[in-house]
Amino acid sequence: MISYKKASKEFKKNKGLFFMSLPGLVFIIIFAYIPMVGLIIAFKDYTYDKGIFLSKWIGFENFKFFFTSDAALRVTRNTILLNLLFIIAGTIIAIICALMLYELNRRAVKLYQTILFFPFFISWVVASYAAYALMNYEFGGINSFLTNIGSQPIEWYLQYKYWIVILFIAYIWKNVGYFCLLYYTGLLDIDPVYFEAAKIDGASKWQQVWRVSLPLISPLVIMLVLLNIGKIFYADFGLFYFLPKNSGALFKVTDVIDTYVYRSLKTTGDIGMASAVGFYQSIMGFILVMISNFIVKRFDKDKSLF
Amino acid sequence: MHSKKSNLNQYIINAIFIVISILFVIPILYIVSISLTSERDILEYGYKLLPTNVTANAYKYVFNNPWQIINSYGVSIFITVFGTLLSLFLSTMLAYTMSRKDYRYSRITSFVVFFTLLFNGGLVPTYILIVNYLHLKNTIWALILPYTINAWYVILLKGFLSTIPLALVEAARIDGASEVGTFFKIVIPLSKPALAAVGLLICFTYWNDWWLSLLYIDKTQIMPLQYLLYRIMANVDFLSRQAASSIGVNVKEIPTESLRMAMCVIAAGPMLILFPFFQRYFVKGITVGSVKG
């Protein structure tokens, strides 16, 4: 009774703020927490008429189905390896861009930054128009170029072997400006005293980069890389769905967990399969975020997520 | 800051960036150029970076029968304006309660928000919830409500709001202001720059979104621009049907190649032109937000 009274008194004191937070919390509960409960669908034979709770439990049937198919290995491999490629090569390219920008005056930086940055604000749908303009078989820019120099035109949308490179270029085009901006801001935060000291000691430009710039932005680099590793089970759906134009011939390279779940749900209507893959993604994603955050924490307590 | 710089280095770096910039812009130039090329030139020469003969024929087709694009503009503008206002308002209130260290439940509220970044139910349960339980399929709300509270933006706002000194809030309380009154009279005016930065991020989330419409919309009346563009790209017939529905148009004469790109320019162009003016605020929101709220 006493604790109840205490709690109710406490609530009265805080109720103004509590009611202010309530609408936002309701949204979070509906759109984030209730779907977590819905993860149990993965263990059920879901039918629309019976709904989530009345559908029959079937244990691990859905998972058996997924993990014994070729798809499991294919989509996991594509998701993880392409994300790794994006993270590693993308980080290196962004750092090089930032280091080069740092050498230029502010006006030039502003111009280049705007150009590098604008694709970040273009949707993948619009980007797929640009990709199509370049890669269309009959009329596309790249094939015109190839025929002009006497080569054979290429069926870009049917040959999967080119797509790792195509996806990579598209990823860089869209994201390098964003990461470059973050690293450039990091470089600006370095106290100029370090560079002055290095110069007095006779350090060359290269030595300054290797001994001053890179070591001092490395905490930022490590943090961003680990944050992205934490998201490695999630692919950028728009990149993998719109650019290859859903071409089945390319799935060997372009099919990732997210596009697979989407197709199972919307095209083939296989909810059991879709929910099993989704469950697998949620759990693996959670484990990886926890691991990467644990590592960030060991490097720099302030920079970890929690 | 950089006192002695070798000029040679500068020239090389500038040259590299000029090449990169050209490569970055070329894909977009292609879209614009194709939209201004006649169908005959396309069939003969293919897509060119600069059109041999400039023609606005494709644009004429769009403006002859503009209702779909006007409609989609309307949908996109509505979800962006309404969605942003709703989202910004609720997110700011929520973030404010998280930022108040004297609030008894601020830690638990922060945890509830934060946990959604670590773990989520994924696509299938969310889809079933929205379609079968909330019955939002093919309604405009399906394009707004799922994005109303984004945990990242809330945490970002919390970071900004935490810089407001508690003493100001306490002074207002002594003057007899309620929590809500304090929020509107003191907190909001003090955090306008932060609200503008985050508001702009939310704005772009709504404006550029195709995901929610891909999942929940198949009626042409509530197709936002991005989804309209996707449908046009995925299905050429969709475009011809749209164009042919105006009277007296022969389907065979429709310049599909250039028309498609013209739709893209009309749908995406205006925002792209506005981008440089907004960039400063984005940079601010993003550089703070990416690191930690």
Q: Contact at 8 Å (CB) between B36 and B259? A: no
Which pLDDT does position A262 carry in this prediction? 93
Longest dimension (CA), chain B: 79
Residue A138 near chain B (CB below 8 Å): yes
Radius of gyration in angstroms for the set of CA atoms belonging to chain B, rounded to a whole number: 24
How many angstroms separate the CA of residue A17 from the nearest CA in chain B? 6
Amino acid (1-letter code) at residue A224? L
pLDDT tens-digit readout, A183-215: 998 999 888 899 889 989 888 888 888 988 999
> Measured between beta carbons, which residues in chain B are less than 8 angstroms from residue A274?
123-124
Among A20, A34, A287, the residue to mutate for chain B (most B Cβ within 10 A) = A20
Which pLDDT does position A79 carry in this prediction? 95
> Measured between beta carbons, which residues in chain B are less than 8 angstroms from residue A205?
6, 9
Helix, strand or coil for residue B245?
coil
Which residue positions in chain B have pLDDT lower than 50?
Answer: 1-4, 291-293
Identify which of B26, B126, B260 has the shortest CB distance to residue A35: B126
Listed residue (B206, B109, B207, B116) closest to B161, CA to CA: B109
How many angstroms separate the CA of residue A214 from the nearest CA in chain B? 17
- Test B125 with A289 for CB contact under 8 angstroms: no
pLDDT tens-digit readout, B43-70: 888 888 888 888 888 888 888 888 888 9
Helix, strand or coil for residue B123?
helix
pLDDT tens-digit readout, A238-257: 999 999 988 888 899 999 99
Residue A84 near chain B (CB below 8 Å): no
- A68, burial (CB in 10 Å: exposed 0-12, middle 13-18, buried 19+): exposed
Tokens of A92: 């290196």
Which pLDDT does position B9 carry in this prediction? 83
How many angstroms separate the CA of residue B53 from the nearest CA in chain A? 16
Q: Which residue has the tokens 């309404």?
A: B82
Nearest residue in B to A206, CA atom: B9
Among A17, A204, A220, the residue to mutate for chain B (most B Cβ within 10 A) = A17
Question: Which residues touch B9 (CB under 8 Å, ≥6 apart)?
Answer: A103, A205
Q: How many CB atoms lie within 10 A of CB B190?
A: 16
CB pairs < 8 Å spanning A and B: 272
Which pLDDT does position A226 carry in this prediction? 84
Question: What ranges in chain A are assigned the alpha helix state H?
Answer: 2-28, 34-37, 51-54, 61-67, 70-102, 106-117, 124-135, 141-148, 163-188, 192-200, 205-208, 214-230, 237-242, 251-254, 257-262, 271-299
How many angstroms separate the CA of residue A27 from the nearest CA in chain B? 6
Mean pLDDT, 10 residues at a time, chain A of 306 residues: 79 89 96 93 86 84 86 92 95 95 89 91 92 88 87 88 94 94 90 89 88 89 86 93 88 92 89 89 91 80 64
Instruction: Point out which residues pair with B37 in neighbouring strands.
Output: B54
Residue A41 near chain B (CB below 8 Å): yes
**Strands A44-45, A56-57: pairing kind:** antiparallel
Listed residue (A46, A48, A84, A42) closest to A67, CA to CA: A42
DSSP state of B138: T
ipTM of the shown complex = 0.88
